[in-house]
Amino acid sequence: MASDLELSAMRQAITLSALGVGTTSPNPPVGCVILDQHGAVVGAGFHRRKGEPHAEAHALKAAGDAARGGTAVVTLEPCNHVGVTPACRQELINAGVSRVVIAVMDPTSRGEGGASMLAAAGVEVETDVLRDEALTVLEPWLTATVRHRPYLTWALSTDGEHQSAAEKRFLLDLRATADLVVAGKTLDEGIPGGHASAHFELPGDADIGGSVLQWLSAAYEGGVRSTLVVGYEHAAALRPHLHAVDEFAVAVPRTDPSQALEVVHSDLIPIGLRLVGVVARADALTFRMRRLRA
Ligand SMILES: [Zn+2]
């Protein structure tokens, strides 16, 4: 059982992991907190972009010798492969950590990942701790990794000229959560210059109409793990593939109660989606819905 201190550390790690959203792809946004043997926080970190240290490496560096005999609390199973950086499970073993608490297992490890290697080295491992909370940040990456195509968000917004100030602000916030933004015929990085260019490549064009799924697969090969499509220009291409839309984002203006069904009509809440966020603003309401997963 994870202790209250570990649960609190996991929520800190999840919050930190979100600081990597929009720049880590093709890697996942991960956060890590190190507790010393008395349960005090002695290090924390998050992964920012591919080619840079992983969350565990940042946190262990900050903790130094205080990590020995302590606990690493990490939002995703520590990696087991030596790539651009050393394997995190080995760094945790070398640092003398005695326990590792994990929220989400890496679906690509197939039981031969960091967790089993840590356990084989005598480290106590606990998994699925606050998994649902960690998925608020990791779900897009996880979905993309399992499906081999980017997580797809469709922002149901009015077109550029007619957007309200609230809608413009909403879309600006949404862009920063996606690797790739398709708005009409333009194609942009969600955070301009955010990714490591050696490991990330934008698709050649914004023409998703030919075959949406093929276009998404090609984007995935280029390192894209999340895509935001804005507005209705690509509606004809998306409608036959609504099952491939993982998330819908909507902004509606504040209005009189007599207009209730006109601003939030039942078509806005399709069957098979769950609400993951509702934000009331001074002049508008914004909400996001994610597809239900088995
Ligand atoms: Zn790692």
- Enumerate domains of the chain plus CATH numbers: 4-138 (3.40.140.10), 148-291 (3.40.430.10)
The catalytically annotated residue of 56, 91, 189, 247 is 56
CA of 219 to the centre of ligand 1 (A): 24
Task: Compute, in angstroms, the gap from residue 7 CA to the centroid of ligand 1.
Answer: 21
Residues in the chain: 294
Spatial separation of the C-alpha atoms in residues 247 and 187, rounded to whole Å: 19
Tens place of pLDDT per residue across the chain (294 aa): 999 999 999 999 999 999 999 999 999 999 999 999 999 999 999 999 999 999 999 999 999 999 999 999 999 999 987 776 779 999 999 999 999 999 999 988 766 779 999 999 999 999 999 999 999 999 999 999 999 999 999 998 877 778 888 889 999 999 999 999 999 899 999 999 999 999 999 998 888 887 899 999 999 999 999 999 999 889 889 988 888 899 999 998 888 999 988 888 887 887 889 998 899 988 889 999 998 865
Q: In what order do the strands lie in the sheet with 31-35?
A: 41-46, 31-35, 71-76, 99-104, 124-126
CA distance linking residue 109 with residue 129, whole number of Å: 18
**The pLDDT of residue 111:** 61
**What 3-state DSSP class applies to 172?**
helix
Residue of 11, 14, 29 whose CA lies nearest to 178:
29
Q: C-alpha distances in angstroms, 103 versus 75, 134, 208, 232?
A: 5, 6, 35, 37
Task: Confirm if 233 and 184 have CB atoms less than 8 A apart.
Answer: yes
CA distances from 25 to 81, 97, 184, 226 (A): 17, 28, 23, 8
As a whole number of angstroms, the distance between CA 44 and CA 67 comes to 11
Structure tokens at 273: 């989606």
86 Cα: distance to centroid of ligand 1 (angstroms): 7
Enter the pTM of the model: 0.93
pLDDT value at position 109?
74
pLDDT score, position 270: 79
How far apart are the CA of 252 and the centre of ligand 1, in A? 41
Answer whether 228's CB lies under 8 Å from 175's CB: yes
The H or E element containing residue 22 is: none
Number of C-alpha atoms within 13 angstroms, CB side, residue 280?
A: 2
Q: Degrees (nearest 5) of the Cα angle 35, 37, 43?
A: 25
Q: What per-residue confidence (pLDDT) applies to 209?
A: 81
Distance 41 CA to ligand 1 centre (A): 20
Given this model, what pLDDT does residue 110 score? Answer: 61
C-alpha–C-alpha distance, residues 183 and 44, integer Å: 37
**Nearest Cα residue to 38 out of 11, 60, 68, 8:** 68
56 is catalytic: yes
